[in-house]
Chain A
Amino acid sequence: MGDRPLKTIKNILNGLTIPDLITVCKNYGLHGYSNQVKDDIIALIVENVKNPHVKESIKAIIPANGTTALILKFISDHDNELSYLRLKEYLLQYRTLSTFRGNFNKMIENRVLFEIKGDNDSTVLIPKEFTDLVTRIIDANVEPEEIKAISSLKGSSRDFGLPLTPTCNGCSYVDKSWIQKKIQESPGMRDYPGCNLYKTYNGYDWVCNHFTIESVSKEPLVEKRKEKQVNLEDFTIAAVASGVVASQKSLDMDANESLINEIQDTATLNILRHTLDKLQIPYLVKDISSWNNAKSFLRDLSMDQLETVYKSVFLIPSFSAFGTLANLTEALETQGFDFKKKDIRTWTLASEYLEAYSCDDLARLYKEMMIVAVLKYAEKFGDLGTLEAIFSEEFKNPMILPSIQDARIQLANLSLDELTLARNEMEDRWLDHMLEAEPIEEESEEESKEESQVTEGSSTEDVIEPISDISEDSQGLARTSNIKEQIDEIINLTLSHKALIKNIQHESTCVMHLIWAIQQAYPDYINEVQIPGSDDIADIVLPSIDLAIEAKFISKLKLGGVSNAKARQIEKLGRGACLSYLSKYKYALLIIFSDSTDYIRSVAHLDVHQDRNIFVRGIDWNKLVD
């Protein structure tokens, strides 16, 4: 590259007329350019193009294809400034005239490239500020063969960039996308049933899925397969390569269909995609573009893979959705599972722990956990009358249960679905029982809305009935005498930031916000806070205060399109979780966030349990955030 300085956008814009400048503003999505003097319009453009977010908008108007990238590469290799005729001459060695003109004119129109007309030729310019942007486009779209070819061009003293490296781990997302696209577009992509994304491209063997692309090696494909039989077992590649896939496992097609249907009933396509990514099961985008495709893709998986998906999508989430960590612990102990308490300290850890077990083991464990839950509620009632009523009313099977042991035997005879129903019924009836004992202080939607107005600050008055006669030991008293107010504070601070909650799209944002809210309420207790998203929020709070707090994030992927009844069920689960926490902690706060656009039913629950005093507050964020 020569030593001459690159032309800045300001240099270039100075030579344009006001209508041209206005076109630039329009193309870049800028505001407030009309009726401005030339210098102000230029300043507006100059200040905006420094902003990376504006640059992203500009990148979006550049056609993302190989021809565009080649054009940009030629120009950038000549200090961002090149004669049009030379550019055309270069390009015509690789592209047709119409392809070149089409893409070139598009970039001129969009003011990504600027052209200064001369007598017989013109100069094409890329502003200095676009250098990084252009580099990214080139890296993502210029094909390696072309780079090599360009490098060998006569008269070129330029190093035209790095060859494609055999591993893609260090590549940017766009690079990966490009390779992925190329691999998927290549013929013979589906040569290997059950292993759709194994392909030789550009002399390398690649395994890719939506987010991960790796070059397996430079070795020939067949050799590679032989070498990697063990390591690539997860992808069933070894089996495919050795031609034994058909005899690998005698699949029970009915069982497969049942699992597939269960997966379809439980998950959305997005959840399925995330699960496949997580499990590193290779797939093509088109494989899960519809449920029809997804089902046939799932049918192509091995039984092991299918069970893994089923576990991840359905079984393991069921534990946290319908159980508590305490009940899980008891179930693990009863069923003789080998575990340490730290394995299931949080649901995140517990889920990882459970992944190691087979579907059968998990089903057995889940059933035991449901039994434990039902029996715990029965213990709370003090008799088995409610359970007998459920057998009679829900299962049309009236019976007398003389003891807990008898109840356990009868429960063990129920199916998983029936047990879940029994557990939910017990929870509902327990809630009703408790709420009859102490009236719920539940806000009306209007009150919630009114209270949450930002303009009204964070007044906490009249939100929850005061807790009377809290008896604490002397050490705990100082901490908890005003704990209700502090919890109130969390709720109100959360409310005052409803705009943040409205479109929470990611768990880390949710956790960050909660940490922030808790800090406001517990400045003295929280001395060490983890980076948002890196740990379970309960780990932050529990050591220092006698409060169970859990943030649940329910994405729209899960809630989208669900009925109001389903939403209410989630709310009930929240209440149930609070109640279960109250068996261990004096205070429980559960906040469920949701970002569903078609139905938002996020609730914040505050249950303060003092003997039989329970105060529950449900908040419909959807009403609040309008």
Chain B
Amino acid sequence: MNEMSPAGYTTADGREIGGVVMEMRNITLRFGGVVAIKDISFDIREGEIRAIIGPNGAGKSSMLNVISGFYNPQEGEVWYRGKRRPAMRPYQVARQGIARTFQNIALFDGMSVLDNIMTGRLNHMTSSFLDQTLWWGKAQREEVENREKAEEVIDFLEIQNIRKTPVGRLPYGLKKRVELARALVAEPSILLLDEPMAGMNVEEKEDMSRFILDVNDEFGTTIALIEHDMGVVMDLSDRVVVMDYGKKIGDGTPDEVRNNPDVIDAYLGVSHD
């Protein structure tokens, strides 16, 4: 496993990666008697694209749900920005600046694309209850500011033409993009993507890969993603955690991981005893 200085490292394509933003320490997650995650540790650094991969049922999604607070692990610690994070509810985690998407898309189907994206700005609105009710002063100003930010993200992800469309009517690939927009508009310090390419055709996958790289590049957003499709991940990410049967079997740059015999076994399906 590669050793790194606490200050960060430089990627193969010359980007500077900063210090640790989030660290998982010896996380174990159980559902009744089933162990979904077993004693896993890894970190996520400022500005990098970090992937978690593994075959079906490896515990990737569970891991993402631990990071985003949907599950609280029975053992282990989550460290965020140098502090140990207590057990939290998902909305509290979101308010700390961790935005996410879902594997099976969780959008507000009845609302327009723009409204969906505006919900991503809720944490940036601080006007009081009274201000909002009477719709004056700060509430009005905020609405305008947030609207501008939303339009910026809409332009960036090239979805201007569907701004007013109810999300329920959109095709799958576009829904995924709207979901990315909603997470992105929150200006998160970590962006979690749960299988962003799942169910997409080749063209849509290429689009999505480009957007992920652009987001990281333009906004410097730290991204942690889960993916099933190994090929896509290797091209995108700076560092990769490989999980299998709830355990970590590899961690490092795509090249290191690719040559790791355990990883090769897991993907080629060598029997487990």
Partners in one complex: no
